[in-house]
Amino acid sequence: MAHEPLTQAEVLLEGFLALDTPEGFRAELIDGEIVVTPPPDGDHEKYISRIVRQVIRRSRADMDCSGNKGLKLLSGGACPRNHAIPDATFAPVDRDLFAGAEAWMPCDGVAMVVEVTSTKPAADREAKRRCYARGGIPLYLLVDREAASVTLFSDPRNDDYRQVCTLPFGKPLPLPEPFAFELETADFL
Q: How confident is the model at residue 13 (pLDDT cuts 50, 70, 90)?
A: confident
Residue 109: what pLDDT? 95
Report how far residue 56's alpha carbon sits from residue 179's, in angstroms, rounded to the nearest whole number: 9
Please report, for residues 23, 58, 104, 164, the alpha-carbon distance to residue 177 in angstroms, rounded to integers and kept in the order given. Answer: 37, 12, 26, 16
* Strands 112-116 vs 139-144: parallel, antiparallel or unpaired: parallel
Q: How confident is the model at residue 164 (pLDDT cuts 50, 70, 90)?
A: very high
Q: Residue 125 in contact with residue 92, Cβ under 8 Å? A: no
Its pTM stands at 0.86
Sign, Cα dihedral of 177, 182, 98, 89: positive
Report how far residue 64's alpha carbon sits from residue 55's, in angstroms, rounded to the nearest whole number: 9
Go through 81-99 and write b for each residue having 16 or more CB atoms within 10 A of its CB, e for each that does not.
bbbbbbbbbbbbeeeebee
Report how far residue 87's alpha carbon sits from residue 70's, in angstroms, rounded to the nearest whole number: 10
Domains of the chain, with CATH numbers?
Answer: 40-188 (3.90.1570.10)
Residue 143: what pLDDT? 98
Long-range own/partner contacts, residues 20-24 (CB < 8 A, 24 or more apart) = none
Residue 8: what pLDDT? 76
Residue 111: what pLDDT? 98
